[in-house]
Structure 1
Amino acid sequence: MREPDRIIRSKTVLARTGLSRSTMYRKIAEGTFPTQVKISINGAGWYESEINRWIADPVAWRSRGEGTLTADCNL
């Protein structure tokens, strides 16, 4: 049986990723970092599996709801 996904708080996310708080929220706004999950009126956290996916490959990370990106840039 699969173990349920844990929710981790911002202090743990920041320690594991090495990001600053402002960088983390900027990346969330850009869509390049997992979004928060509301766990109470004043509390939020992140799914540990999403953070692990981001840590494994931060450049290619996309939320599971997004499609794949197309190479539409001129290099």
Structure 2
Amino acid sequence: MLSVAAKTPPNAVPPMPLNFPRDRFMRLPEVIHTTGLSRSTIYELISRRQFPAQLSLGGKNVAWMASEIEEWMNERIADRYQGAQS
């Protein structure tokens, strides 16, 4: 059996790994529970681009990125404090 090893040129820079922060998918019931919003309000806000859009997981399955939901909630909290300072 013959094996061929791939050779790396001596001055080649190795590819950098993509480092994404650890994230997870949230399904609709968890988004509803976490945000306190109703299903219809979530989809209304998405249509107005005021809430993170869902991702397709294939077929009819969708989810939201937990980091995007958390960021959206933090923006709402920041808006409240900015309003108090005015």
Q: How many angstroms apart in 1 are the aligned matches of 2:74 and 2:50?
A: 13
What amino acid is the match of 2:72? Answer: W
Q: How many angstroms apart in 1 are the aligned matches of 2:51 and 2:21?
A: 23
Q: How many angstroms apart in 1 are the aligned matches of 2:69 and 2:22?
A: 15
Residue 58 of structure 1, CA deviation: 2.8
What amino acid is the match of 2:65? Answer: Y
Structure number with higher relative contact order (C-alpha < 8 Å, ≥ 6 residues apart) = 1
Per the alignment, residue 4 of structure 2 pairs with none
Q: How many residues align?
A: 60
Per the alignment, residue 75 of structure 2 pairs with 57
Q: How many angstroms apart in 1 are the aligned matches of 2:20 and 2:52?
A: 22
Per the alignment, residue 68 of structure 1 pairs with none
Of Structure 1 and Structure 2, which has the larger fraction of its residues in helix?
Answer: 2
Task: Tell me the TM-score normalized by structure 1.
Answer: 0.71
CA RMSD, 1 decimal: 1.9
The structure that has the greater radius of gyration is: 2
Task: Tell me the TM-score normalized by structure 2.
Answer: 0.63
The 4+ residue runs of structure 1 with deviation greater than 4 A are none
Equivalent residue in structure 2 for 1:18, among 36, 45, 49: 36
What amino acid is the match of 1:19? Answer: L
Q: Percent identity?
A: 37
Q: Which runs of 5+ in 2 are unaligned?
A: 1-18, 79-86
